[in-house]
């Protein structure tokens, strides 16, 4: 999905994380872990290859990053979807599934908790 990174959304977290999309529209995908520059805004998670790409995308509206709309998303820790440690899963209402992982536990904990809060704030709007 292409998402607009600039519709008045305040980014709250930005960091390199390991990311794998494992399903789209309920259909399982072949897992492919990549390092991604992840930006959490007030309603979306945006994925860039590199931090530089974020700046480019913000200047050029045609250059939109991949992203996840967090409205209605389910956030959970998973030990079954990967042999890696510290893996969290995001499932969208449309059946897209993403894994996020970092070796440093406090890092991924912070993302898990902040994304959860974001989802909660969207459902109570
Ligand atoms: O859930 P899977 O299929 O065991 O995930 C592994 C695969 O994506 C593997 O790639 P290949 O399908 O090309 O062999 C990756 O190299 C592994 O990292 C995946 O497992 P982990 O446990 O690392 O998520």
pLDDT single digits (tens) 17-39: 999 999 999 999 999 999 999 99
Query: What is the predicted ipTM?
Result: 0.87
123 CA distance to ligand 1 centroid (A)? 33
83 lines ligand 1 (CB under 6 A): yes
85 lines ligand 1 (CB under 6 A): no
- In the structure encoding, which two tokens stand for residue 2, read together? 């292409």
Per-residue pLDDT at 8: 47
Per-residue pLDDT at 31: 97
Per-residue pLDDT at 11: 57
33 CA distance to ligand 1 centroid (A)? 8
H/E run at residue 110: helix 105-123
7 CA distance to ligand 1 centroid (A)? 36
Map residue 87 onto helix, strand or coil: strand
**Long-range CB contacts (within 8 A, 24+) of 98-103:** 98/19, 98/20, 98/21, 98/22, 98/45, 98/68, 99/19, 99/20, 99/21, 99/22, 99/31, 99/33, 100/17, 100/18, 100/19, 100/38, 101/17, 101/18, 101/19, 101/20, 101/33, 102/15, 102/17, 102/18
Per-residue pLDDT at 57: 86
**Residue 99 Cα: closest atom of ligand 1:** 24
Q: Which residues does the chain have with pLDDT short of 50?
A: 1-2, 4-8
32 CA distance to ligand 1 centroid (A)? 7
Per-residue pLDDT at 10: 55
């Amino acid at each position: 999905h292409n998402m607009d990174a600039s519709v008045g959304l305040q980014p709250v977290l930005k960091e390199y994380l390991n990311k794998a999309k494992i399903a789209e529209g309920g259909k399982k995908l072949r897992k492919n872990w990549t390092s991604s520059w992840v930006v959490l805004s007030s309603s979306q998670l945006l994925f860039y290859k590199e931090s530089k790409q974020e700046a480019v995308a913000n200047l050029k509206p045609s250059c939109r990053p991949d992203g996840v709309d967090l409205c209605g998303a389910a956030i959970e820790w998973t030990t079954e979807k990967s042999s890696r440690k510290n893996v969290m899963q995001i499932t969208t209402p449309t059946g897209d599934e993403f894994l996020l992982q970092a070796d440093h536990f406090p890092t991924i904990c912070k993302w898990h908790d902040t994304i959860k809060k974001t989802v909660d704030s969207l459902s109570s709007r």
